[in-house]
Amino acid sequence: MFQRINVAGMVCPNNVFLAPLAGYTNYPFRRMCAELGAGLTFTEMVSCKGLLYGSAETKLLLHCGKESPKAAQIFGSDPDIMRAACEMEELAPFDLIDINMGCPVPKVVKNGEGSALLENFPLAEKIISACVKSGKRISVKYRIGVNGKKFAADFARLCEGAGACMVTVHGRTREQVYAGEPDFAQIAAAKNAVKIPVVANGGIFSRADAEDMIAKTGADGVMVARAAMYDPRIFCEILRIDAPPMGELFARQLEETRALYGERFATVFMRKMAAFYLKGKAGSAERKRRLFAAAGTAEVARLAEEFFGKN
């Protein structure tokens, strides 16, 4: 069930992936999840326009190491701009480029990007085809429907026909955002409609969830999203491998984040991450209060050592 997967010649050590998470899947977090077992990790979604305009902040989202395989996620609505972005040197290190066609955030949708493309099949097809012409492996992540309509199978066929080598199907509609149980039947329909690998996304918070998803949909793999923010060791749980102590993981993530992004960013970001890691723990409310009052990484590190210890 959890095994190697070959995506157009890109061999992933397993089929349990880390989802692209806007604001969270920066390089230190992706590296940590990969070491904890994630078979493939994705950057947070990157604006193709931002890349072409030379935005330093956009380029920093694509910082990566030499580990492989790894994937970047892009978004946009202009086929020519998106192909040009795929051909840029900033994306050259990545083994796979994923196109976001599922983001439900209103400001993205209003620009005709993300899940807005589910309402424009011809444009979605042109974008995928254009990106494929860049010579990169192209995948697509999308939702099962919009505006009360569900069409996961039809869209999977569109992606495959345009040259995508993999699709990830989030089993919820745009309007559901992240609420409700994923629609297993829609993911299964997408799987049965195409020959390329189909990865299932949505509601994976444990090994049991992952097993259930694959059993009910026949998907070739699963993609873990919010659960990794609560505890990145979920990959160890799903794959049944030994998990290191959270305190040890946090200390290393904090130091790598500070070294790459600076003191101010690391303080704000790692306070948020610590709050996620404390979710559901006894006394978490008071601990979060103390965390968010921390003025620098040294204090965040001290509090984390107190809170996580060797657990």
Tally Cβ neighbours within 10 Å of residue 90.
18
Quick check: 104 and 179 in contact, CB under 8 A? no
Query: Which residue among 48, 86, 103, 159 is the active-site one?
Result: 103
What Cα–Cα distance (Å) separates residue 62 from each residue in 45, 85, 160?
Answer: 9, 12, 26
Angstrom distance (rounded) from CA 170 to CA 181: 11
Question: Residue 188 corresponds to which tokens in the numbers above?
Answer: 């299964």
Centroid of chain to Cα 105: 15
The verdict on whether 33 is a catalytic residue reads no
The DSSP-derived string for 139-182 is EEEEESEETTEE-HHHHHHHHHHHT-SEEEEESS-TTTTT-S--
Residues known to be catalytic: 103
